């Protein structure tokens, strides 16, 4: 199936050493979608991991392990935008702005 007009956007939380569950549940499907998409954007969701990993060195190591795993399993950095959330300060700034104007009821209905 060719979805050249589609954009794939997905991220993975770096909460430990990548394992088979990560591969089957997130990495393999993301790489397959990226291969068929017109544009793919993948990120390491390190902001999402701050509450579960409090040690900055462990978070940094885990982020590198996720990046290395994606690249080793076939992510093509020439075709896919691949970044770490914390490298784009506008993400955090936009989150704060949206949180200031988003009602509690709407946040309760959000999936993430």
The pair of three-digit structure tokens given for residue 30, joined into one six-digit string: 């993301």
Tokens of 82: 């691949």
Report pLDDT digits (tens) over 1-23.
Answer: 555 688 999 999 999 899 999 99
Which helix (DSSP H) or strand (DSSP E) does residue 42 occupy?
strand 37-44
Q: How far is CA 1 from the centre of its chain?
A: 24
Tell me the DSSP string of 71-89: HHTT--TTTEEEEEGGG-H
- Interatomic CA distance for residues 15 and 13, integer angstroms: 6
Span 47-65, pLDDT tens digits: 989 989 999 999 999 999 9
DSSP 24: I
Which tens digit of pLDDT belongs to each residue from 24-43? Answer: 999 999 999 998 888 999 99
Q: What is the pTM for the complete model shown?
A: 0.80
Topology at the third CATH level for domain 3-109: Rossmann fold (3.40.50)
Which residues touch 28 (CB under 8 Å, ≥6 apart)? Answer: 73
């Amino acid at each position: 199936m060719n979805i050249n007009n589609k954009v794939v956007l997905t991220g993975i939380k770096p909460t430990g050493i990548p394992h088979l569950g990560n591969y089957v549940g997130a990495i393999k499907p993301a790489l397959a979608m990226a291969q068929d998409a017109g544009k793919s954007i993948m990120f390491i969701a390190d902001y999402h991991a701050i509450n579960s990993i409090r040690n900055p060195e462990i978070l940094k190591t885990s982020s590198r392990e996720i990046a290395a795993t994606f690249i080793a399993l076939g992510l093509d950095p020439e075709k896919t935008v691949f970044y770490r959330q914390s490298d784009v300060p506008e993400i955090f700034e936009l989150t704060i702005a949206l949180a200031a104007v988003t009602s509690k009821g709407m946040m309760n209905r959000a999936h993430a």
